[in-house]
Amino acid sequence: TTSNTSKAKTKGQGAATSVSIQLDKDDFKQAVIRNLHRTLGTDENKANKHAWWKATSAAMQELVFERLRTTQKTHYLNDTRAVHYFSAEFLMGRLLSNNMHNFELFDTAKRALKELGVDLVDMLEEEPDMALGNGGLGRLAACFIDSLATMEFPAIGYGIHYEHGLFRQEIRNGAQIERPDSWRDYGNPWEICRPESIQQISLYGYVETKYDEDGKIHKEWHPGSIVTGVPWDIPIVGYGGKTVNVLRLWQSQSSEYFNWDVFNAGGYVDAQRENVESETISKVLYPNDETEAGKELRLIQQYFFSACSLKDIIRRYKRVHGDDWSRFAEQVVIQLNDTHPAIAIPELMRILVDRAELSWNVAWEICTQTFAYTNHTLLPEALEKWPVRMIGKILPRHLEIIYEINHRFMAEVDAKWPGNNEIKAKLSIIEESNEKMVRMGNLSVVGSFAVNGVAEIHSALVKSQLFPEFNELYPGKLTNVTNGITPRRWLKACNPSLSALITKKIGGDWILNLDKLDDLSAFASNKTFQNQFMKVKQQNKLALAEEIKKLTGIIVDPKAIFDIQIKRLHEYKRQHLNLLHILALYRRLLQDPDYDMHPRVFIFGAKAAPGYALAKTIIYAINVVADKINNDSRVNEKLKVVFLPNYRVSLAEKMIPAADVSQQISTAGKEASGTGNMKLALNGAITIGTLDGANIEIAEEVGEDNIFIFGLTVDEVNETLSAGYNPYDYYYSNEELKATIDWLDSDYFTPGNPHALSSLKHSLLEGGDPYLVLADFEDYCKANLALDLAYRDKSKWAKMAILNTAKMGKFTSDRSIKDYVERIWKLDSCQVK
Ligand code: T68
pLDDT band at 13 (very low <50, low <70, confident <90, very high): very low
22-40 pLDDT, tens digit per residue, is: 789 999 999 999 999 999 9
In Å, how far from its chain's centre is CA 576? 23
Distance 692 CA to ligand 1 centre (A): 15
Distance 138 CA to ligand 1 centre (A): 7
**Residue 764 domain-assigned?**
no
What number is the average pLDDT over the span 604-616? Answer: 98
Determine the pLDDT at residue 3: 36
Q: Would you call 408 a catalytic residue per the annotation?
A: no
Nearest ligand 1 atom to alpha carbon 134 = 18
Q: Would you call 567 a catalytic residue per the annotation?
A: yes
Q: Name the burial class of residue 172, with classes exposed (0-12), middle (13-18) and buried (19+) by CB atoms within 10 angstroms of its CB.
A: exposed
Which residue's CA is minimally distant from atom 10 of ligand 1? 674
**Residue 545 domain-assigned?**
yes
CATH number of the domain to which 351 belongs? 3.40.50.2000
548 pLDDT more than 70: yes
Determine the pLDDT at residue 273: 63
What number is the average pLDDT over the span 191-202? Answer: 97
Q: What is the DSSP string of 392-434?
A: HHH-HHHHHHHHHHHHHHHHHHHHHSTT-HHHHHHH-SEE-SS
Q: Judge if 202 and 164 occupy the same domain.
A: yes
CA angle in degrees (0–180, nearest 5) for 20-26-27 = 50
**Residue 332 domain-assigned?**
yes
Q: Would you call 376 a catalytic residue per the annotation?
A: yes
**Residue 724 domain-assigned?**
no
Q: Judge if 165 and 223 occupy the same domain.
A: yes
Distance CA(677)–CA(682), nearest Å, equals 9
The fraction of the chain above a pLDDT of 70, given in percent, is: 95
Determine the pLDDT at residue 261: 56
Q: Is 202 in the pocket of ligand 1 (CB under 6 A)?
A: no
Domain membership of residue 619 as a residue range = 487-714+775-809
- Structurally, the chain folds into a number of domains equal to 3
Q: Judge if 196 and 289 occupy the same domain.
A: yes
Residues forming beta bridges with residue 234, ordered by sequence position: 247
Other CB atoms closer than 10 Å to residue 226's CB: what's the count?
Answer: 17
H or E stretch covering 207: strand 206-211
Distance 377 CA to ligand 1 centre (A): 7
Nearest ligand 1 atom to alpha carbon 133 = 18
Q: Judge if 245 and 296 occupy the same domain.
A: yes
Helix, strand, coil shares of the chain, percent, nearest 5, are 50, 15, 35
335-379 pLDDT, tens digit per residue, is: 999 999 999 999 999 999 999 999 999 999 999 999 999 999 999
Determine the pLDDT at residue 407: 98
Determine the pLDDT at residue 11: 34
Determine the pLDDT at residue 9: 33
Catalytic residue among 71, 74, 370, 675: 675
The upper half-sphere exposure of residue 463, i.e. CA atoms within 13 Å in the direction of its Cβ, equals 18
**Residue 243 domain-assigned?**
yes
Site to substitute for ligand 1 among 290, 379, 690, most atoms within 8 A of C-beta: 290
Q: Is 669 in the pocket of ligand 1 (CB under 6 A)?
A: no
Q: Judge if 597 and 536 occupy the same domain.
A: yes
Q: Judge if 418 and 404 occupy the same domain.
A: yes
Q: Is 437 in the pocket of ligand 1 (CB under 6 A)?
A: no
Nearest ligand 1 atom to alpha carbon 694 = 10
Site to substitute for ligand 1 among 289, 373, 813, most atoms within 8 A of C-beta: 289
Site to substitute for ligand 1 among 85, 87, 137, most atoms within 8 A of C-beta: 137
Determine the pLDDT at residue 633: 97
Q: Judge if 453 and 563 occupy the same domain.
A: no
Q: Is 484 in the pocket of ligand 1 (CB under 6 A)?
A: no
Determine the pLDDT at residue 754: 87
20 pLDDT more than 90: no
Which residue's CA is minimally distant from atom 17 of ligand 1? 289
What number is the average pLDDT over the span 568-578? Answer: 98
Q: Judge if 153 and 242 occupy the same domain.
A: yes
Residues 623, 667: contact at Cβ < 8 Å? no
pLDDT band at 306 (very low <50, low <70, confident <90, very high): very high
491-502 pLDDT, tens digit per residue, is: 999 999 999 999
Q: Judge if 473 and 513 occupy the same domain.
A: no
Q: Is 693 in the pocket of ligand 1 (CB under 6 A)?
A: yes
Q: Would you call 479 a catalytic residue per the annotation?
A: no
Q: Is 199 in the pocket of ligand 1 (CB under 6 A)?
A: no
Q: Judge if 688 and 792 occupy the same domain.
A: yes
Q: Judge if 122 and 134 occupy the same domain.
A: no
131-152 pLDDT, tens digit per residue, is: 999 999 999 999 999 999 999 9
Residues forming beta bridges with residue 430, ordered by sequence position: 438
Q: Is 136 in the pocket of ligand 1 (CB under 6 A)?
A: yes
Catalytic residue among 164, 376, 397, 574: 376
Determine the pLDDT at residue 12: 37
What three-state secondary structure class fits 527? Answer: helix
H or E stretch covering 743: helix 735-744
Q: Is 485 in the pocket of ligand 1 (CB under 6 A)?
A: no
In Å, how far from its chain's centre is CA 748? 38
Q: Would you call 640 a catalytic residue per the annotation?
A: no
293 pLDDT more than 90: no
Determine the pLDDT at residue 255: 84
Q: What is the ipTM of this complex?
A: 0.99
Catalytic residue among 248, 350, 567, 807: 567
**Residue 720 domain-assigned?**
no
Residues 158, 237: contact at Cβ < 8 Å? no
Q: What is the DSSP string of 241-274?
A: SS-EEEEEEEEEEE-GGGGHHHHHTT-HHHHHHH
Catalytic residue among 75, 570, 638, 679: 679
pLDDT band at 4 (very low <50, low <70, confident <90, very high): very low
Residues 335, 86: contact at Cβ < 8 Å? yes
Average pLDDT over the chain reads 95
pLDDT band at 2 (very low <50, low <70, confident <90, very high): very low
**Residue 735 domain-assigned?**
no
Distance CA(219)–CA(217), nearest Å, equals 7
Q: Which of 132-141, 167-176, 271-280 shows the lowest mean pLDDT across its residues?
A: 271-280
665-703 pLDDT, tens digit per residue, is: 999 999 999 999 999 999 999 999 999 999 999 999 999
Residues 1, 108: contact at Cβ < 8 Å? yes
752-807 pLDDT, tens digit per residue, is: 998 999 999 999 999 999 999 999 999 999 999 999 999 999 999 999 999 999 99
What is the distance between the terminal CA atoms of the chain, rounded to a whole angstrom?
17
What residues contact 426, with CB distance under 8 A and at least 6 apart? Answer: 469
What residues contact 701, with CB distance under 8 A and at least 6 apart? Answer: 807, 808, 809, 810, 811
Q: Name the burial class of residue 42, with classes exposed (0-12), middle (13-18) and buried (19+) by CB atoms within 10 angstroms of its CB.
A: middle
Residue 442 or residue 292, greater confidence: 442
In Å, how far from its chain's centre is CA 568? 11
Nearest ligand 1 atom to alpha carbon 89 = 20
Q: Is 454 in the pocket of ligand 1 (CB under 6 A)?
A: yes
Catalytic residue among 573, 600, 640, 807: 573
Q: Would you call 675 a catalytic residue per the annotation?
A: yes
Which residue's CA is minimally distant from atom 15 of ligand 1? 137
Q: What is the DSSP string of 586-641?
A: HHHHHH-TT-----EEEEEE----TT-HHHHHHHHHHHHHHHHHHT-TTTTTTEEE
Q: Judge if 558 and 471 occupy the same domain.
A: no
**Residue 552 domain-assigned?**
yes
Distance 382 CA to ligand 1 centre (A): 9
Q: Which is nearest to 345 in space by CA: 304, 296, 307, 311?
A: 307
204-251 pLDDT, tens digit per residue, is: 999 999 998 989 999 999 999 999 999 999 999 999 999 999 999 999
Q: Is 132 in the pocket of ligand 1 (CB under 6 A)?
A: no
